[in-house]
Amino acid sequence: MTFTRTNIPDVIIIEPKVHGDERGYFVETFRQDQFEEFVGFKVNFCQDNESRSHHGVLRGLHYQLSPFAQSKLVRVIDGRVLDVAVDIRVGSPTFGNYVAVELNGKNKKQMFIPRGFAHGFVVLSETCTFTYKVDNYYAPECDRGISFNDPKLGIDWQLSADLFQLSTKDTQQPKLETMHELFEYGVNYYA
């Protein structure tokens, strides 16, 4: 596996080695030992989630507050998404900045989104199967979100806005500057 830090160094792109021939392929999608050696701390994934979505479905930008903050390791089984992680750690030199990466069933790339980031994706292909590991369970009382089209974030979702398919919840998320329930830069949310 190849691990690459992005322009926000805590967000990491992981490219597994794909072994393929005329029969198909084999890929090792996760190795706890290699992962922890690279990130430098323990992450105990406890749940795997999967979604199936159609072209234009935009999910996000979501996060959970402590004590149920979550890290995510996301990937696409088939199809294509633009995957986005936004730094919401107050005091961070990259606060309000984002990383956007295309994940798809061919490139097999994965993105690690640590605690302290909001996450979302939009489906670029006709359909997509999206899967991810989390290191904490879903807690509705800690569930929060930020507007996907916050002009201060300036995210280029690579699709025309009239193609977006959003949940009611995601159409009503607040702008980042109005949020008071965020994370603090420098705090260890893994302790």
| Residues 87 and 182 sit within 8 Å (Cβ to Cβ) | no
62 a catalytic residue? yes
Buried (b) or exposed (e) across 40-76, using 16+ Cβ within 10 A? eeebebeeeeeeebebbbbbbbbbbbeebbbbbbbbb
Which residue in the list 62, 63, 98, 119 is annotated as catalytic? 62
Instruction: HSE, CB side, 13 Å, CA atoms: give it for residue 99.
Output: 24
- Residue of 63, 132, 137, 190 marked active site: 132
> Phi, psi (5° rounding) for residue 96?
80, -5
> Which positions are annotated as active-site residues?
62, 132
